[in-house]
């Protein structure tokens, strides 16, 4: 069982930046693929970025060049640095940990981009 707690969301103006963090419980964090998803009102949840245990990353086309995912296995944390935010990035952002057929979700953190 893995528990995930996201933090760092909030209100930011267009063009601004936020850094989301996800803290995970458990001693085998390093083997999990860690991902960030987001869900805007009335839309399905979508993958934003993912990072493997070896550090390989994947990004949705909509965030490439603006977002960066990173992980610190010693601290059981994963981060999502979000730059050049625009109103279309407004959503609840969720952290996900997965290995094999098992996966776990955090409770989500709200990101609102508005002037």
The answer to whether 13 touches 86, Cβ cutoff 8 Å, is: no
The answer to whether 80 touches 96, Cβ cutoff 8 Å, is: no
Reported as a single tens digit per residue, the pLDDT across 28-54 is 777 899 999 999 999 999 999 999 989
- Has residue 10 got a pLDDT over 70? yes
Reported as a single tens digit per residue, the pLDDT across 65-79 is 999 999 998 899 999
Residue 27: closest CA among 97, 81, 107: 97
């Amino acid at each position: 069982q893995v528990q995930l707690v996201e933090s760092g969301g909030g209100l930011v103006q267009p063009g601004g930046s936020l850094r989301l963090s996800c803290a995970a419980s458990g001693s085998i964090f390093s083997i999990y693929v860690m991902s960030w998803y987001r869900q805007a009102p009335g839309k399905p949840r979508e993958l934003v970025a993912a990072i493997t245990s070896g550090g390989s990353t994947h990004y949705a086309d909509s965030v490439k060049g603006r977002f960066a995912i990173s992980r610190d296995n010693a601290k059981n944390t994963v981060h999502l640095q979000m730059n050049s935010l625009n109103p279309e990035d407004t959503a609840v952002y969720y952290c996900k940990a997965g290995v094999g057929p098992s996966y776990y979700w955090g409770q989500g953190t709200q990101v609102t981009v508005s002037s």
